[in-house]
Amino acid sequence: MELMVLLNALVTRLLFVLHSLIGVWRVTAVKKEPKYWLLALLNLLLCLETGLTLKFKQGRGYKWFSPAIFLYLICIVPSLWLLEIHHGTQYCGNEPGAVQVNVSNQDFNQSRESSHGSEGTDHHIIQTAKVFVNQLSTICETVWTLALHQTFLLLLVIGRWLLPIGVEITRDQLSQLLLMFVGTAADILEFASETLDIEDVRKNYALINAILAVWTWSMLQFPLDLAVQHIGCKSSSPARRIPSLLLCRYSAELWNIGVSLFIQDGPFFIVRSILMGHFRIFNQMLVFFTAKNILVVTLQLYRLAVITLDFRATVLQKSRKGEVCCCPCEPYEARAHATGHQENEMKEFVPLPPKEESQAPSEDH
């Protein structure tokens, strides 16, 4: 096993565990109930996945799916749910927060002077850590929740970049996937922060749960790598069905369209439409992003129509010429299978070389 592959696999999963533990700590501090520390047990799944990956895959990733990203979602999403639900009763201004930070800085300087003058270095480090934790605890809860959301999405992209890739995905495909994840993460963060910050939404408990459910549903696209990979075609017979050939040829494009329509822009548009149509909630940003979702959904449907018409024209053109419609996903196997019959037929027409007449030995009787 390569050292860098092992190091990347372990460091990335360690970052996932630390971030999820910070989320559990914040839930415990907000709820003031130690039982919420049980959420930290979810990290055992990530530890189990780490051991299995190191044993069976030598630290490298899987094809089309990232178990580490999926288990990280399982570890951190419940904490964010609890913080957002509790967020409805949290209100804090800028001035009290600033006063608390100044007081904690003063305490930090006093503890530093006292520990420097009387006790050793170890005690000084412990005191500094305690003061630092206390200072973090004084930060407004809304700021904490937003910071966890932001670092969560950033860590998804960075973690996917650091995780070792498998043999099925190339560096070029990984770069495309990361660029897509950056734009997707920005849209998801905007959806959560923009809708949950509305005052009328915060008063409706069922509406908060619905928005968080859609937000969680949109997160399920991060463990999947189908957006940059083509599905292989095992069969290349001319009688292969048209939908299978279409899926084989445009698998990555169709996956992008499906994600936009059913996982991200489509559900976001439905939620925003319900907020404006049923609950009569209107503001400038809500109207703008609703129009953006409508535009994206329309363009994705237009792209689907263009792909379908282009594929149909290609199939008709090849059928008129009598050519075998092979899938471009695996050109070597398809072409080898398609040209195999032609080579067998050509062998029948290849003239055989003339046989040399064997001279019969003279008979002496």
On whether residue 350 sits in a domain, the answer given is no
| 322: confidence class by pLDDT, cuts 50, 70, 90 | low
Residues 220 and 237 in one domain: no
pTM value is: 0.77
pLDDT over 90 (residue 122): no
Over residues 94-119, mean pLDDT? 46
Summarised one tens digit per residue, pLDDT across range 83-101 is: 998 864 444 554 444 334 4
Report the pLDDT value the prediction gives residue 208, as an integer from 0 to 100.
93
Residues 212 and 256 in one domain: no
Q: Which domain holds residue 257?
A: 230-321
Summarised one tens digit per residue, pLDDT across range 273-292 is: 999 999 999 899 999 999 99
Mean pLDDT across the chain: 78
Over residues 36-45, mean pLDDT? 95
Residues 185 and 271 in one domain: no
Residues 144 and 266 in one domain: no
Residues 216 and 272 in one domain: no
Please provide residue 261's backbone torsions phi and psi, each rounded to the nearest 5 degrees. -80, -40
Highest mean pLDDT among 87-96, 165-174, 227-236: 165-174
Residues 181 and 155 in one domain: yes
Please list the residues that pair with 224 across neighbouring strands.
Answer: 65
Summarised one tens digit per residue, pLDDT across range 46-56 is: 999 999 988 88
Residues 234 and 218 in one domain: no
